[in-house]
């Protein structure tokens, strides 16, 4: 819901790590400002303004049911939001809360080993530490990959931030995210391609927010600040692209300067903003030839009127002298049906650098497209066994669907003048009883180049009773040939400990038919392997809270290819991961 996807197989590791931080340390929505709510990426501008206004008039939100009643939220959204937020309050009902000055620390240390017949034993490791004390916060992270030479870390990130309460303002030095509008001009980090549901069309701009990640490569590095005065907010940043490359053999000639600014007027029901940035490279080159390879200006806005969301953005690329634009709406079409539509115009000459808007393929360029999607709920409410309170019941039928049609002015191959693509998706989740449910997913992609058809069909059977659960999946994909994958999983989960065991088989002879399957892992270690070949695999994932302040995660997996033909024989591989997390 928050990333605009319908399955974890389509989530980027950078964004999964960012959301996992809120699972470890939930956002205390009664104690933070509207700007901090927006910076989390969990709320739209309208939701942040609505919650801030509710707190000012009624005091702290003390239950999830009360939060669902806040304008712009609703039960379905709060059900998804619940694991990431805390309703912690230090005041009596009807009063406002203030932020605590008690220091909080988070430390995560991980290591992993992989054994293959071809490469032998390989190791990687990582470390993240964060401290927060009142308005001041700092974090640092580093990690090495299996390919790192001599085990030297090949990814770094860190920041120091100060949230000034009286002004109000925020300053971030180091790594930060810069995400404005609908992502057409300036949006760093991950952004999904394609659409799956109404929530996948409109972005949740977070403005300036601090970043610390094991990957360390998706953030911007420099100095950023955000100031608010009434309904007006101003964001200024000075990023230094290429500065981290100096640690990996790059020269000063590869370093650039990127100043950017955003000004936004935040109303009760929406916002209007403008963003401008320019990259200056060659400042330290031998010939002192300063170049501007990327410069854009954009204007964006969003509005919510009685449950109907309207959003749009237009951006001008000063280098190519081309304008790109998008516009969309999401609206209730009944009590249990929500529809959404979007139009996109991205010229072929428009630069996709630093753009993260919704698109059909991998880049925000060379695309004229239209999208239509919806989500629905139907049937009676079913009580779930072993659950109490908010979220203990769900509708019998829940689903979503989407159609995306894209025209590419510049052909994707050399045989045609233009290219076209159509994507369709349907997801149906049915609750069979208090413990059984099934989920069906069907997607079709039709292209005028390459393999014309790609059909993906998936069925999941799930059983859950209190702390125990089981799942089974069958996945068939038809593109060049047929790809088939299936697995069964059983697990036990509670606050103090969890354990899951999965076993599966796959038969996939062509790389274009590869199938991705999400694997459970420790926070910050998002794992979606691509299965290819003919083989079997087994994985074990467990967690244990050995103290109030510490938790251990263990993951082990093994993949073998006993069914491959002799000429295509692949070696098996085994992997073991350990991760300690400390909060104090």
SS (H, E, C) 14-64: HHHHHHHHHHHCCEECCCCCHHHHHHCCCCCHHHHHHHHHHHHHHCCCCCH
Residues 441 and 498 in one domain: no
Query: Residue 336 sits in a domain of what CATH number?
Result: 2.40.160
CA distances for 151 relative to 144, 244, 521, angstroms: 6, 18, 22
How far is residue 555's CA from residue 540's CA, in Å, rounded to a whole number? 5
Residues 133 and 165 in one domain: yes
Whether 446 and 495 map to the same domain: the answer is no
Nearest C-alpha neighbor of 156 from the set 107, 215, 209: 215
Provide DSSP, 444-469: EEEESSSSSEEEEEEEEEEEEETTEE
Question: Model pTM?
Answer: 0.87
Q: Are residues 366 and 384 in the same domain?
A: yes
Count CB-CB contacts under 10 A for residue 543: 21
d(CA 554, CA 178): 34
Residues 508 and 394 in one domain: no
Query: How many Å apart are CA 306 and CA 413, to the nearest integer?
Result: 46
Instruction: Quote the pLDDT of residue 194.
Output: 78
Q: Please state the length of the chain.
A: 584
pLDDT at 92 (0 to 100): 54
Domain annotation covers residue 2: no
Beta carbons of 22 and 40 less than 8 angstroms apart = yes
Say if 58 falls within a structural domain: yes
Same domain, residue pair 422 and 555: no
Q: Which domain, by its residues, includes 520?
A: 459-584
Query: Rounded CA gap, 570 and 426, in Å?
Result: 35
Is residue 552, in this structure, part of any structural domain at all?
A: yes
pLDDT at 397: 96
Say if residue 224 is in the same domain as residue 250. yes
Indicate if 419 and 477 belong to the same structural domain: no
485 & 423 share domain: no
**Residue 1, domain member (yes or no):** no
Count of the separate structural domains present in the chain:
2
**Cα–Cα distances in Å, from 381 out to 217, 375, 386, 398?**
44, 17, 16, 11
Strands (E), 144-290: 155-164, 169-179, 207-210, 220-229, 232-239, 258-266, 270-281
Q: Is 308 within a domain?
A: yes
10-residue averages of pLDDT along the chain (584 residues): 76 79 87 83 85 87 89 85 87 53 86 80 88 90 78 84 84 94 89 81 89 82 92 94 80 88 90 96 77 96 91 97 97 92 97 93 94 94 85 90 96 90 96 96 95 96 95 97 97 94 96 94 86 96 93 95 84 92 89
Q: Which of 424, 450, 476 is the last residue of a domain?
A: 450
* Consecutive H or E run containing 13: helix 13-24
Domain end (from 415, 450, 485): 450
Is position 260 within any domain?
Answer: yes
Q: 485 and 406 in one domain?
A: no
Residue 415, Ramachandran bin (φ over 0: left; ψ between -120 and 50: alpha; else beta): alpha
87 assigned to some structural domain: yes
Does residue 361 sit in the same domain as residue 506? no
User: Does residue 214 sit in the same domain as residue 93?
Assistant: yes
Is 559 inside a domain boundary? yes
Q: What is the 3-state secondary structure (H, E, C) of 168-198?
A: CEEEEEEEEEEECCCCCCCECCCCCCCCCCH
Domain boundary among 450, 482, 501: 450
């Amino acid at each position: 819901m928050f990333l605009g996807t319908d399955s974890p197989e389509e989530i980027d590791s950078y964004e999964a790590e960012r959301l996992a931080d809120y699972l470890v340390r939930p956002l205390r929505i009664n104690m933070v400002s509207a700007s901090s709510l927006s910076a989390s990426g969990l709320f739209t501008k309208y939701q942040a303004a609505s919650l801030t206004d509710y707190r000012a008039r009624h005091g702290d939100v003390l239950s999830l049911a009360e939060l669902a009643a806040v304008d712009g939220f609703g039960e379905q959204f709060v059900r998804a939001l619940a694991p990431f937020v805390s309703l912690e309050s230090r005041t009596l009902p009807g009063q406002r809360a203030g932020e605590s000055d008690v220091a909080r620390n988070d430390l995560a240390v991980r290591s992993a080993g992989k054994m293959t017949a071809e490469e032998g034993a390989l190791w990687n490791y990582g470390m993240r530490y964060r401290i927060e004390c009142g308005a001041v916060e700092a974090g640092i992270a580093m990690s090495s990959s299996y390919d790192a030479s001599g085990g030297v870390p090949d990814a770094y990130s860190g920041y120091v931030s100060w949230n000034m309460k009286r002004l109000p303002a925020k300053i971030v030095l180091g790594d930060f995210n810069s995400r404005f509008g609908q992502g057409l001009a300036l949006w760093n980090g991950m952004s999904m391609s394609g659409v799956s549901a109404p929530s996948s069309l409109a972005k949740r701009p977070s403005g300036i927010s601090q970043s610390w990640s094991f990957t360390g490569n998706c953030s911007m590095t420099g100095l950023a600040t955000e100031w608010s005065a009434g309904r007006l907010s101003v964001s200024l940043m000075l990023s230094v692209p290429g500065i981290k490359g100096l640690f990996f053999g790059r020269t000063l000639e590869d370093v650039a300067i990127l100043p950017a600014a955003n000004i936004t007027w935040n109303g009760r029901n929406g916002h209007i903003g403008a963003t401008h940035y320019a990259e200056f490279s060659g400042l330290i080159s031998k010939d002192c030839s300063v170049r501007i390879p990327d410069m854009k200006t954009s204007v964006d806005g969003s509005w919510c009127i009685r449950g109907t969301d309207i959003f749009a953005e237009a951006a001008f690329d000063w280098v190519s002298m081309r304008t790109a634009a998008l516009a969309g709406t999401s609206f209730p079409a009944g009590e249990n049906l929500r529809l959404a539509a979007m139009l996109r115009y991205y010229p072929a000459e428009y630069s996709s650098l630093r753009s993260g808007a919704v698109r059909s393929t991998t880049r925000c360029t060379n695309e004229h497209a239209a999208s239509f999607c919806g989500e629905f709920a139907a049937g009676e409410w079913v009580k779930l066994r072993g659950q109490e309170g908010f979220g203990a019941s769900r509708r019998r039928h829940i689903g979503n669907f989407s159609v995306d049609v894209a025209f590419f002015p510049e052909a994707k191959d050399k045989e045609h003048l233009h290219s076209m693509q159509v994507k369709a998706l349907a997801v149906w989740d049915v609750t069979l009883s208090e413990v059984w449910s099934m989920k069906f997913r069907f997607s079709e992609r039709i292209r005028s180049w390459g393999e014309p058809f790609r059909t993906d069909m998936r069925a999941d059977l799930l059983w859950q009773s209190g702390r125990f659960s089981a799942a089974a999946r069958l996945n068939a994909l038809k593109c060049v040939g047929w790809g088939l994958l299936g697995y069964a999983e059983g697990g036990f989960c509670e606050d103090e400990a969890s354990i899951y065991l999965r076993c599966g088989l796959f038969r996939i002879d062509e790389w274009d038919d590869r199938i991705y399957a999400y694997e459970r892992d420790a926070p910050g270690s998002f794992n979606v392997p691509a299965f290819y070949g003919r083989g079997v695999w087994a994985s074990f994932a467990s967690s244990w809270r050995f103290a109030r302040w510490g938790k251990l995660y263990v993951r082990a997996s093994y993949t073998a290819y006993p069914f491959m033909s002799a000429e295509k024989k692949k070696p098996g591989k085994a992997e073991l991961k350990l991760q300690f997390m400390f909060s104090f």
